[in-house]
Amino acid sequence: MIDIRIATKDDIDCLMSIRLEMLTVVNNLPENFEHSDEVINESRDYFLNGDQMTVLASNGDKVIGCASMSFIRIMPTFAHPTGKRAHLMNVYTRSEYRRQGIARKMVEMLIEKTWEKGATEISLDATAMGRPLYESMGFTDSTECMVLTNL
């Protein structure tokens, strides 16, 4: 039976394992790819100290999926009077468990908790594979945002 729950700091090893697996799969890297110490250390710190909530999906003692919501506070505006926004990311289900509604259940749980925390907007960056799921849940494309990166 599939169990979906909010992760705690006690789940750090599971969180790190599924996060690194997700990064490897999504970026089409070889299975034996070694992630940089910076990515590992910053991911660990974020799970332990960041303003985030992560959901884990498990089948018995095997973690099979995850999804995270990062919380962002901006200056309040008329459109966002609380100044609380969120960004959905790292939605991942192992290939053998896909097309069973697991990702949807993880995202629904995060959305519910995010609204409870007073957020007025949830954004995300969708892959081509994930886009139909998000559209079916009511997410729409936005032209509001411009981005500047320093990479």
Q: Average pLDDT, whole number, for the chain?
A: 93
Which residues, 6+ apart, have CB-to-CB distance to 150 below 8 Å? none
Count CB neighbours of 151 within 10 A: 2
Average pLDDT over residues 30-44: 95
12-18 contact pairs (CB < 8 A, 24+):
12/44, 12/47, 12/48, 14/56, 14/63, 15/47, 15/54, 15/56, 15/66, 16/40, 16/43, 16/44, 16/47, 17/63, 18/56, 18/63, 18/65, 18/66, 18/92
pTM of the prediction?
0.90
Residues 64-115: tens digit of each pLDDT: 999 999 999 999 989 889 999 999 999 999 999 999 999 999 999 999 999 9
For Cα atoms 50, 124, 136, give the angle at the middle one, nearest 5 degrees.
Answer: 130
Average pLDDT over residues 27-41: 94
Model pLDDT, residue 142? 82
Tell me the CA distances in angstroms from 83 to 38, 54, 75, 80, one per residue in order. Answer: 30, 21, 5, 5
Helices (H), 54-128: 102-116
User: Which comes out higher in pLDDT, residue 151 or 20?
Assistant: 20
Model pLDDT, residue 58? 96
One-letter amino acid of 151: L
Average pLDDT over residues 121-140: 91
Question: Contact at 8 Å (CB) between 76 and 95?
Answer: no
Model pLDDT, residue 42? 96
Model pLDDT, residue 10? 95
**Which residue, chain included where needed, has tokens 């095997």?**
62
Model pLDDT, residue 146? 75
Question: Contact at 8 Å (CB) between 19 and 45?
Answer: no
